[in-house]
Amino acid sequence: MDAQELCYSDNFFTHSFMNIGIFLLPDPVRGAAEIYRTLKPGGVTVISSIKKVGWVRIFQAAQKEVKPEATVWKGPLKDEWSTEQKLKSVVQAGGFKQENIDVIIVESSLPKNMLRNFLDSMKDQVILMITKDWSEVEKQKFDLVLEEQLLKELTSPHESEIVAWVALARKQGVFFSSC
């Protein structure tokens, strides 16, 4: 279902969750407005966005080695989404009142035994973003260097960190339960 045009009636849910997705929508404010619209008065939403992801450094290291003069790929997020204010302003623009929005930081990591599968699931698209204007020779070298960087990461003692902004917001009004 399109998160920007939910098929649910107004005031339908008591809770709504959007995990690491709001920044992927073509119109994030519209998505937040749909969450607001479909929440019952007093309903709660949890909307998270990425502040920082450690796995980006694997691609950056490979890029720097193959083509150091190129602008370094910053990752899948626009810089503005790495700020607390961006998430908060989108949630507020969607209809939630500022006094009913709290934003916290949640830190986690991607375990080593999940890292390869996780990166394999997105690797082709990330490579296309980074190497779109590169020669075939550079692209082939990038594939090899990227594998070397991944192996370094898999054998390093630290895990790939993930830091998220999490907005907790309540729709104005009173929620009455049938219990």
Determine the Cα–Cα distance for residues 16 and 81; give it in Å rounded to an integer.
21
Domain count, the chain: 1
Mean per-residue pLDDT for 132-156?
94
Q: Is residue 179 part of a domain?
A: no
Residue 179 has pLDDT above 60, yes or no: no
User: Which range of residues forms the domain containing residue 103?
Assistant: 13-170
Residue 95's contacts (CB-CB under 8 Å, 6 or more residues apart) are 32, 33, 36, 37, 171
Q: Is residue 155 part of a domain?
A: yes
The number of C-alpha atoms within 13 Å of 62 and in the hemisphere containing its C-beta is 25
Give the pTM.
0.80
Instruction: Show the CA angle centred on residue 157, arms to residues 107 and 161, nearest 5°.
Output: 20
Q: Answer yes or no: are the C-beta atoms of 76 and 123 closer than 8 Å.
A: no
Mean per-residue pLDDT for 53-81?
90
* Model pLDDT for residues 1-60, shown as the tens digit of each residue: 999 999 999 999 999 999 989 998 999 999 999 999 999 999 999 999 999 888 999 999
CATH number for position 55? 3.40.50.150
